[in-house]
Structure 1
Amino acid sequence: MRSTIWISTTALLATVTTAAATYLSDICTDAYASAALPFDVFPYITIDASSVSTEIVWNYSASSVFYPTSTFNYCNLTFSYSHNGIDGDVVNVEYWLPAPSNFQNRYVSTGGGGWAINSGASMLPTAIIVGGVGGLTDGGFGSFTDQFTNVALLANGTVNWHETYMFGFQAHHELAELGKALTRNIYGVASDTKIYSYYQGCSEGGREGWSQVQRFPEQFDGIAVGAPAFRWAQQQVNHLTGNVIEQTKNYYPPTCELEKIMNLTIAACDPLDGKTDGIVSRSDLCRSHVNYKGFIGTPYSCAASSSVPEQTGNITAEAIDLIFTYWNGLHDSDGNLVYFSYQPGSSFDDLQTAYDSSTGEWGLSIDGLGGMWVAYFIDFLQMSDLTSLTNVTYDTLKEWMIFSQARYGDILQTTYPDLTAYQAAGGKVIHFHGEQDFSIPTASSVRYWDSVRSIMYPGKSYTQGAAELDDFYRLYLVPGAGHCALNDYEPDGPWPQTSLQTVIDWVENGNAPDTLAGTGEIDTLCRWPFRPLWTNNGTDFNCVYDQFSIDSFSYDLTAYKMPVY
């Protein structure tokens, strides 16, 4: 049956392309798309030709921090495929196609966030804007809106390893290879003409991009990734660290007290970069240059909400002690560092507490990301969260991290540091991370960058290795930015909205970005390890080398005997 379909659809495609597809309506038909299906890419999958669906979308308006606001037409093409030998397996993929007149020989895969393997329509416009075909996958989880947790366990006690590997890296590999071949067929691109392939994603989407670079070095010519969710073993469990600190110290701060401390931190740290502009650009200077004990006794007040009464009070010494313990990262009972925390100025999402209207007191609010990880992947129970952290200690968190790394390290850690093959293939990376990220520590990205530097250039000094790494991989910290977004508490902060365009220019034209363009009040983002500094009373901007800053982002995770890249 497959050979019959292949012969007939190939003939149809040849007929249509001979007529020179000029308009979106020429390529956006079920018949044309069926003829362009890439049946020969993977021998272990079967594409369902009858699943093809196409639809022209006119005057679509898109706006995001990840691309400039645009209005365009596109063709929405979806189809499904299955892995041979796996009963009930169906993977859905969706591709957005630009009009032939706007196509610039590019393909772009897009990633997801949290437990989702895709970001729906929110990320796909980036491909059309740069003249490429854009793709997303549902991973085989049931539909484009179903998340990994829908299929992570076959039953209580049994991990669904096929879907775990799909989420970890395989689904995005298939999406990209199918997408590139489909792009060539749809637009009739000659076999000797290059189609440039790219990736864009943030958070889990950032990890997904790295999962491809580390395993399939010739798949993408360039990736633009933000705040990657590296080290799922540590990252997910770490969301519970704030809860356990609160439980251990038996202090549960009102949410208004936390917000007041955050706002005071932003105000105190703001001028440390040489300019007072409402943006914390040098969070590394905060803890050593700010008198946090001076915050004690400062009044706070927040209006009542639907579930919480008006909050008034004064910042306590217990709250400041809690915050510093939180910022210092997770340590075990022997004082060994297990994992690092967030930068000063970020919001305290992992310390959020819950108000009990029956007692009028604040108490524990177990973090959903960390709770779900433990419930599903450590306890192997189909529970959306933990119901209690009773008897959970700092050592328990360490044990959970070590267990997770051992069990899922080859799938979800995504920190393989030897990128020699990707560099040899000519690939480029733009990697950025918000300085006030509240969900994934900024130091997480710095640690991976440094792991790549030390593994690839072991005989070089720090500065020499950094210079060598600049050849293909550049990291930028974004002042004031939160997690994969602008920060409501630092609204004038920048964001690298055209990072994909930057990596395209680097790949196709050889223009390596010394700095990264940002939106907002700061239009220049420094390349790590250089740090922003204003001189002459805040009139002159510089990117400077500061050893203190580098050291402040470097952590010796002494709790492990095995390397944690």
Structure 2
Amino acid sequence: MVSTQVALAFGAAIAAVRAASLADYCTVDYVTSVLPTEDLGLAVTIDASSVSAALATNQSVTSEWYAASVIDYCNVTFAYSHNGLNNDTVHVSYLVPTPENFSNRYVSTGGGGLAINSGASYSPSGIIVGAVSGITDGGFGNFDTQFDAAFLLAAGTVNWQATYMFGYQAHHELATLGKQFTKNFFNVSDSDKLYSYYQGCSEGGREGWSQIQRFAEQFDGVVTGAPAFRYGQLQVNHLSGGVIEEAMGYYPPPCELEKIMNLTIAACDGLDGKVDGVISRSDLCKLNFNYTSTIGEPYYCAASSGTSLRRRQAAPTGYAPAQNGTITAEGVAVASAFTNGLIDSQGKRIYINPQPGSAFTDAITQYNTNTSKWEVAISSLGGEWVARYLQLQDTSNLASLANVTADTLRDWMVLGMQKYYDSLQTTWPDITPFKDAGGKVIHVHGESDFSIPTASSVHYYEAVRSTMYGSLAYNDSVAEMDDFYRLFMVPGGAHCSSNPYEPNGGWPATTLQTVIEWAEKGVAPDTLENDGGVIDTLCKWPLRPLWSGNGTSLECVSDEKSRDSWIYTFDAFKFPVY
């Protein structure tokens, strides 16, 4: 713990910090003097000897999540340990803005995949809005170490401390320490409001919801993108494409699936009233387009060293021959079954897959040079989840999908949900305490997300709506939700970013600023600004975009049939799946 003498010695500097230059306070001595030593209810001890402070000036930063900027900041890091635990060290990093740019704000940013932080992918957004911006390493070793490296203490033995840190605890500690550190650093009095925010996508989106569901007063505003809800279902579902292919005995070349996707985009583009290279209404595509219309269409892809469709993690590599053929009925059957989502042997729905027009990432195949045939490429996301997190093996994938059926995947989903319900599932639907605390959340999801189905976000929104306001008429319940929770889908958007296959879709870059306006000034967003897209404003669910006047006027319209196409009941399970 930092000594009282050191803190007193720097008392004058604390009072004058807002008049100082960045270089004046970006020092180890000053940072040490303002470490959060108050009783914050965390039962942790900060290691004052671990403090570092590095000045960064004229740093050019760019991302689809914030506007390109040139920023100055002080990068502060320190470590802490949990009282009573051995060999326990957690590192946190806070980017501190210049005194003249500080706007009484703190921002936490989240991770992606199995990483608990995304480094500079999101953290500069805090500096841009005048906030101290924090990330954590979760106690996994360093900021580059991911959860899978810390998950097992040994084969068959779960590191539950690491699991709960990844699930929600590390981000609670990051924000709690970060907010107090910010107050101390800039001498924010108890009578002055320090606004706190969160931003993250994918795993980072799930992390944001883990805080909303457990720590109602922690953040004034939250931006979550494509959250990895329903960990038990989601991770196993990445195996669905391979299981469908095994069941059908057909392994479409990647080029065949890519052609089906491109033809789908072309066919469904104009269903929203404007031909612009973007599927803005994947619901209308689902209701009106049939993959069978693509049978017989030619495709060609040159030979390459890898597959043509992107994977989020661990893409199949190796030689891929030139692919020259026509779309087959078998390829269409695979595409149709994949888009429809997993169905068990009793005809009941297990889970959902991406919207039509999305890349068939989880159905991608790989070429076997020994057999000269295409075969299943086991998703490393789904395969590692089953092998490491369910079977507790120290391995990064399953060896094969032999004898694995849709029913097997269903049962694995049940096991994952049971095992990690209180840590990773993150689907608690009653967030009344967050609303009552005045919190605001903006939830975004790319409509052509190839990794986390867009309907996953709709399902959670509807679970919250029906849980909190199920006694009200639909429109009345949506109005209640609008007070604190708004969902926006990004036409053509891929997984947490714009889409190379629908490049006119764009991506919202000022969502954090929007939730700040909502939390601090009460300016609720009926639409969301979309950067770089032919649709420059995004419609709030359940309204959907529709062009009129020969594509000159965009409206957000109510369409009950289309809305219903996003709603699913997972009746393969004998319990609610929120």
Report TM bin, short chain: over 0.9
Whole-Å Cα distance in 1 between the matches of residues 422 and 214 of structure 2?
11
SS of the aligned residue for 1:474 comes to strand
Give yes or no for the alignment of 1:359 onto 2:359.
Answer: no
Tell me which of 555, 564, 567 is aligned to 1:551. Answer: 564
Residue aligning to 1:287: 286
- 8 Å CA contact retained: 1:494, 1:521: yes
SS of the aligned residue for 2:112 comes to coil
Tell me which moved more, 40-49 or 154-163. 40-49
CA pair 65-538 structure 1, distance change in 2 beyond 3 A: same
Give a deviation string over 1:309-340, Cα, whole Å, max 9, x none. Answer: 21100000001111111111111111110111
Q: Which AA in structure 2 matches 1:28?
A: C
- Tell me how large the CA RMSD over aligned residues is: 0.9
Residue aligning to 1:65: 64
- 8 Å CA contact retained: 2:17, 2:186: no
Where in structure 2 are the equivalents of 1:69-218 lying within 5 Å?
69-218=68-217
Residue aligning to 1:36: 34
SS of the aligned residue for 1:338 comes to coil
1:25 deviation in Å?
1.2
Give yes or no for the alignment of 1:492 onto 2:504.
Answer: yes
Whole-Å Cα distance in 2 between the matches of residues 174 and 291 of structure 1?
49
Whole-Å Cα distance in 1 between the matches of residues 542 and 225 of structure 2?
17
1:445 deviation in Å?
0.3
1:487 deviation in Å?
0.1
- 8 Å CA contact retained: 1:475, 1:528: yes
Whole-Å Cα distance in 2 between the matches of residues 43 and 215 of structure 1?
15
Whole-Å Cα distance in 2 between the matches of residues 470 and 53 of structure 1?
43
Tell me which of 434, 438, 444 is aligned to 1:432. Answer: 444
SS of the aligned residue for 1:151 comes to helix
1:539 deviation in Å?
1.2
SS of the aligned residue for 1:533 comes to strand
Tell me which of 401, 409, 422 is aligned to 2:421. Answer: 409
SS of the aligned residue for 1:342 comes to coil
Whole-Å Cα distance in 1 between the matches of residues 30 and 131 of structure 2?
18
SS of the aligned residue for 1:376 comes to helix
- 8 Å CA contact retained: 1:59, 1:72: yes
1:180 deviation in Å?
0.2
SS of the aligned residue for 1:409 comes to coil
Q: Which AA in structure 2 matches 1:203?
A: S
SS of the aligned residue for 1:201 comes to strand
SS of the aligned residue for 2:85 comes to coil
Where in structure 2 are the equivalents of 1:147-546 lying within 5 Å?
147-306=146-305, 307-519=319-531, 520-546=533-559
Tell me which moved more, 166-175 or 388-397. 388-397
CA pair 356-441 structure 1, distance change in 2 beyond 3 A: same
Give a deviation string over 1:102-135, Cα, whole Å, max 9, x none. Answer: 1000000000000000001221100000000000
1:12 deviation in Å?
2.6
Whole-Å Cα distance in 2 between the matches of residues 357 and 392 of structure 1?
24
Q: Which runs of 5+ in 1 are unaligned?
A: none
Whole-Å Cα distance in 2 between the matches of residues 291 and 442 of structure 1?
20
- 8 Å CA contact retained: 2:17, 2:99: no
Residue aligning to 1:14: 11
Residue aligning to 1:25: 23
Q: Which AA in structure 2 matches 1:35?
A: S
Give a deviation string over 1:71-97, Cα, whole Å, max 9, x none. Answer: 011100000000111111000000000
Whole-Å Cα distance in 2 between the matches of residues 497 and 302 of structure 1?
34
Q: Which runs of 5+ in 2 are unaligned?
A: 306-318
Q: Which AA in structure 2 matches 1:312?
A: N
Q: How many residues align?
A: 562
1:17 deviation in Å?
2.1
Q: Which AA in structure 2 matches 1:152?
A: F
- 8 Å CA contact retained: 2:510, 2:529: yes
- 8 Å CA contact retained: 2:53, 2:77: yes
Whole-Å Cα distance in 2 between the matches of residues 8 and 278 of structure 1?
65
1:65 deviation in Å?
0.4
SS of the aligned residue for 1:337 comes to coil
- 8 Å CA contact retained: 1:9, 1:36: no
Whole-Å Cα distance in 1 between the matches of residues 15 and 495 of structure 2?
48
1:308 deviation in Å?
1.3
- 8 Å CA contact retained: 1:6, 1:39: no
1:292 deviation in Å?
2.4
1:26 deviation in Å?
1.9
SS of the aligned residue for 2:424 comes to helix
The structure 1 segments of at least 4 consecutive aligned residues displaced by more than 6 Å after TM superposition are: none
TM-score (norm 1): 0.98
SS of the aligned residue for 1:415 comes to coil
1:19 deviation in Å?
4.1
Whole-Å Cα distance in 2 between the matches of residues 537 and 20 of structure 1?
57
- 8 Å CA contact retained: 2:225, 2:445: yes
Q: Which AA in structure 2 matches 1:535?
A: S
1:182 deviation in Å?
0.2
- Equivalent pairs: percent with the same residue? 57
